[in-house]
Chains A and B, each alone.
Chain A
């Protein structure tokens, strides 16, 4: 029998952990932390993104931003998207998951159908919906005309009053698949004994849903809500590809304003100020969710 001599790294678990962590930490610092710091620094400077020289301007970029009606309009649109994304894809996703879960046949087919849009790139989603929304001969307007509901037809993405809601419908079609699949997975993992107990106790379908199923689905709900909130705050692709933030800024969100300011107008400093504002606002909105999720994970680990 030979004497086993552990290698130095085996004797020092911390060293092993450190070695494994080194690369991701370095990548995280270079590709995440450093750009954030650089963006904050740039928000106090004036730069066109091309010149080798940047000029320090103190708080001017923030003063310009806070005096700009466009910023508040974009922020309001982000809040609208936040409310919409938290309620609609989550609610519709839950409803679809309950429906599909109740089917005895064809679950695979409906899972595919409902999840498919989520696999499309947002730019493709925008192209499809731009075609659907064409106000004279688009599918939506034509269908409404054909069924005698032409009075409901609108200039879907061409009017300030309707554009954001039209974009939201496209966003819902695209994103509902994610909530659906999260809830569906949650439903499949519900403890059957609880549902059985409810049935034996004579609970109605509604009582079973509100008192048993939905409370037990809370982990899935938390994930769907959190991801929807993140999607709402970082929203860019669908808006930019469908309207560019127009008409006349009507559908602008903070990310499209930031992109237009940076690359359309070459004002990197002001665009960075928008980015920093986005970071702070997103943190305020999303941090409670992250803290909650971290506590849940900690509790689950302690339970084990």
Chain B
């Protein structure tokens, strides 16, 4: 009898539990472990406390933007997309909007005063045709150069302010048997390093002109930026960088094999994981040439059409994500800077505070530059990354000509298809 009752109770619980779980609307993301998972889970927990009637649950889609996009394509075709998902910015959003797959977030944006709390450069890449389609969670800067403080202090070096100073410093670094700059293989890292020389040649307006297809890739400006990148960066990278991941590049700095590393500020999280202390063991300076600007990588949340039952949950989740509480929880764990500039600074460590100050200064001068990769039509952005990696490995005139020719051909095709966006 007792056994039967226990069995019945278990069966009922078994039925009730999935029913409760079904009520929670799914949020798809690829922050699969560690601090990243803790960051999104903190927003989910806050949301479920503030909005108990519309709970959400995080679902990890292992991989990256491309893998998540593939899962979304299938879910959208099957008519069962999540309530919201982790999205990149700019063209990534535009592709979904053009296909009629994204819901406008105008009402939440107005409610949270999106035009006031998010910096200008960030607002531009959350909107398509003036309508916001995503709520940004954070900003990670990719235009800062991190350095090994011990190597710098032992040799009496200071942070360079111009490319000439950086080049001269690299010459000094190399005489000590240490490589000047770490780097990593793949289509992103060399490209992100290239933004500083590019900005120094074309400025913020030229950067957006290139992003919107108005500036040619085979013109004098782009060639000059490539040459500068070749002279200052590619010539001073650690040997064998092409076979390393970004984390292995960070290991080179920690092990003293390289003195500096221009990398997104997530590298600070990695340094801390290997027991380095910010300010004591490492610090950063803005890459020469960017001037008042900063270049940002962004994580945002977008809400797809086609799942009307979770529309209210999605909206409440976006409200939570945009709030200073939500942004503080997310960025405290992730180590990035909150997209909502009203988020208090006390959540940051030394590196976060310094980055936040840098970002606010850039925001005040309308010089927050979104990652060019996500401003260009998808194929052109991807190819730009591949070609920059190629040029970084072989910064010769022959490769330069091949790079500009390949990119200019794709720009022509994108222009013919009217694919560019005037961000």
User: Which residues in A have some Cβ–Cβ distance to B below 8 Å?
Assistant: 48-52, 130, 133-137, 155-159, 243-244, 246-249, 260, 263-267
Contact = CB atoms under 8 A, between A and B. Distances in A.
Q: Which 10 A-B pairs have the closest CB atoms?
A: A158-B243, A158-B242, A135-B240, A50-B99, A51-B99, A248-B390, A155-B240, A135-B243, A265-B379, A263-B70
B386 A263 contact: no
B251 A137 contact: yes
B73 A156 contact: no
Contact of A50 (B96, B187, B243, B382): B96
11 contacts: A133-B243, A134-B248, A135-B243, A136-B240, A158-B243, A244-B186, A246-B185, A246-B389, A248-B393, A263-B66, A265-B379
B242 A247 contact: yes
B244 A134 contact: yes
B241 interface: yes
B101 interface: yes
A51 B379 CA distance: 17
Contacts of A263: 66-67, 69-70, 73
Given A157-B243, A246-B186, 7 more contacts: A50-B96, A52-B100, A135-B243, A136-B257, A159-B393, A265-B379, A267-B379
A67 B255 CA distance: 46
Contact of A265 (B245, B382, B393): B382
Given A247-B390, A247-B393, A248-B389, A137 B379 contact: no
B396 interface: no
Tell me the dominant secondary structure on chain A's binding face. Answer: loop
Nearest to B67: A263
Contact of B386 (A52, A134, A156, A246): A246
A265 B381 CA distance: 9
A227 B393 CA distance: 37
B76 interface: yes
B95 A48 contact: yes
Nearest to B69: A263
B379 A248 contact: no
B242 A50 contact: no
A228 to B, nearest CB: 27
A52 B243 contact: no
Tell me the dominant secondary structure on chain B's binding face. Answer: helix
B280 to A, nearest CB: 24
Between A134, A247, A260, the greatest number of chain B beta carbons within 10 A of the residue's beta carbon is seen for A247
Interface string B374-397: 000011001000110110010000
A246 B390 CA distance: 10
Residues of B in contact with A, size category: 35 or more
A136 B258 CA distance: 11
A156 B243 contact: yes
Contact of A130 (B99, B245, B257, B386): B245
Nearest to A265: B379
A164 to B, nearest CB: 13
B99 A52 contact: yes
A40 B366 CA distance: 49
Contacts of A52: 99-100
Interface string B255-283: 10100000000000000000000000000
Nearest to B62: A123
Interface in B67-103: 67, 69-70, 73, 76, 95-96, 98-101
Contacts of B379: 265-267
Contact of A51 (B100, B186, B255): B100
B98 A246 contact: no
Between A52, A135, A136, the greatest number of chain B beta carbons within 10 A of the residue's beta carbon is seen for A136
Contacts of B66: 263-264
Given A52-B100, A246-B186, A266-B95, A136 B73 contact: no
A137 to B, nearest CB: 7
Between A49, A50, A244, the greatest number of chain B beta carbons within 10 A of the residue's beta carbon is seen for A50
B49 interface: no
Nearest to A153: B240
B239 interface: yes
Contacts of B67: 263
Contacts of A249: 386
A50 B386 contact: no
B191 to A, nearest CB: 12
Contact of B244 (A48, A51, A135, A159): A135
Interface in B173-221: 185-187
Contacts of B240: 135-136, 155, 158
Nearest to B380: A265
Given A135-B244, A248-B389, A158 B185 contact: yes
B382 A264 contact: yes
Contacts of A156: 243
Contacts of B96: 50
A134 B70 contact: no
A158 B241 contact: yes
Contacts of A267: 379
Contacts of B386: 246, 248-249
Contacts of A265: 378-379, 382
A91 B389 CA distance: 37
Contact of A49 (B73, B241, B251, B255): B73
Nearest to B102: A50
Given A155-B240, A155-B242, A264-B382, A247 B185 contact: yes
Interface in B348-387: 378-379, 382, 386-387
A247 B394 CA distance: 12
Contacts of A50: 73, 76, 95-96, 98-99, 101
B255 A134 contact: no
Nearest to B255: A137
A153 to B, nearest CB: 9
Contacts of A48: 95, 98-99
Nearest to A130: B245
Given A52-B100, A137-B255, A155 B243 contact: yes
Nearest to A268: B73
A134 B251 CA distance: 11
A243 B185 CA distance: 9
Nearest to A141: B240
Nearest to B184: A158
Given A48-B95, A52-B100, A249-B386, A136 B252 contact: yes
Interface in B28-78: 66-67, 69-70, 73, 76
Contacts of A136: 238, 240, 244, 248, 252, 257
A256 to B, nearest CB: 12
Contacts of B101: 50
